[in-house]
Amino acid sequence: MDKDTDAYVAHHSRRMLSFALYRKLKSVVDLWDREERGKAKVVAAAAYGLVVWIAFAVLGALLLPRYTLFFALVGSLVWLVFVLTLVRKHLGAPRNRS
């Protein structure tokens, strides 16, 4: 091979490596961005669900004081399942949309 061919191959090899590194770093940054957006959605929805749960617990305690403990326990379990579902939905492994 001559010098021009060697230089051409070396130049394009560096460009291919650079492009591969760029794509890898971009995928990592996109993953972090997706995770941060997912965390924000989970926290917002969980806080809203907690407010709703507290409102129902207070309403239940006022209307049926005898079942206050039952409302608190069942409401806690429902809220916990709700939060776990949110985490799985927003922070679970990305799905292939092919």
User: pLDDT tens, 53-72?
Assistant: 999 889 988 999 998 898 88
> pLDDT value at position 77?
95
Asked if pLDDT for residue 98 goes beyond 50, the answer is: no
> pLDDT value at position 1?
62
Residue 97 forms part of a structural domain: no
Residue 9 forms part of a structural domain: yes
Residue 98 forms part of a structural domain: no
Task: Give the span between the Cα atoms of 24 and 75, in whole angstroms.
Answer: 44
Beta carbons of 79 and 49 less than 8 angstroms apart: yes
Q: How many Cβ atoms from other residues are within 10 Å of residue 2's Cβ? A: 7
Structural domain count of the chain:
1
> pLDDT value at position 78?
94
Beta carbons of 38 and 90 less than 8 angstroms apart: yes
Mean pLDDT of the chain: 88
Q: What is the pLDDT of residues 12-47, one digit of tens each?
A: 888 898 889 999 999 999 988 988 998 999 999 999
Q: How many residues in the chain? A: 98
Residue 78 forms part of a structural domain: yes
Residue 96 forms part of a structural domain: no
Task: Give the span between the Cα atoms of 33 and 5, in whole angstroms.
Answer: 42
| Domain interval for residue 54 | 3-91
